[in-house]
Amino acid sequence: MSAEIFFIYDSHCPWSYAASPLLAEIAKARNDITIHTLHCAYYHGDNAVDAAKLKDIESLSTVTFSDAYKQQCEQRQDSTLIANLMSWVEQKAQGKALNLLANLQEQHFKHGNALSSEQDVKPTIDTLKLSPPAKSLRASKLCKEAEYAIGDIDEIQQIIGTQAIPALLLAVDDELILLNHNLYIGQPKKIVDAIAIELGE
């Protein structure tokens, strides 16, 4: 039996940030499950975050948002560059995707970093010793890898019948199971037990 996790998210989505600790718990507890991160590029410069919902997210989950983030969150958000970068990492350096995502989310939600230019992400990619190509650091449009990822996401969303993000899915052989991340964002360790139940362990 082969099992994989697919996490559909946006780096600039606060709900995705709240669900990310679940991935960390899965990675710690289950080295037999491959985790795939699929950036959907929902934020593309035309939309902002509803600041009023941040208190709800904090009350339901284990994450908090800094004042630096709250002061700029209602401005238009653009995750195009991060969609490009994360798509490259997922394809070329998959083992580093979770670490990179965690670092980028910390920069964005804890330090108020817009993550919309190469200068915004350079310290993080240097620290993690990554060498993405120039196209993966472009903020003006999606690269081919990101477009392919979005195509895969569209197919998955048709199967599960929702375009809501974040989405956490467990793939077991040919079966795709939508895990209700809302049940676990307040106690991330419980996602490990939920996966074990789904796997019949």
pTM above 0.75, yes or no: yes
Asked whether the beta carbons of 88 and 121 are under 8 A apart, the reply is no
pLDDT at 1 over 80: no
The number of angstroms, rounded, from the C-alpha of 109 to the middle of its chain's C-alpha atoms is: 13
Cis-peptide, bond into residue 133, ω within 30° of zero: no
CA dihedral 87, 89, 95, 101 (to 10 degrees): -80
Q: Which domains does the chain have, with CATH numbers?
A: 3-198 (3.40.30.10)
Torsional class of 200: left (φ above 0), alpha (ψ -120 to 50), beta (otherwise): left
C-alpha span between 78 and 123 (Å, rounded): 19
pLDDT, tens digit (0-9, with 9 covering 90-100), for 159-200: 888 888 999 999 998 889 999 999 999 999 999 999 999 998
CA dist list (Å): 34 to 6, 38, 45, 98: 9, 13, 32, 11
Strand partners, 8: 38, 167
Q: Please, which pLDDT band fits residue 120 given cuts at 50, 70 and 90?
A: very high
The tokens describing 36, both together, are: 């795939």
Please give the pLDDT value at position 48. 85
The number of angstroms, rounded, from the C-alpha of 184 to the middle of its chain's C-alpha atoms is: 16
pLDDT, tens digit (0-9, with 9 covering 90-100), for 27-64: 999 999 999 999 999 998 778 898 889 999 999 999 99
pLDDT, tens digit (0-9, with 9 covering 90-100), for 56-93: 999 999 999 999 999 988 889 999 999 999 999 998 88
Asked whether the beta carbons of 55 and 165 are under 8 A apart, the reply is no
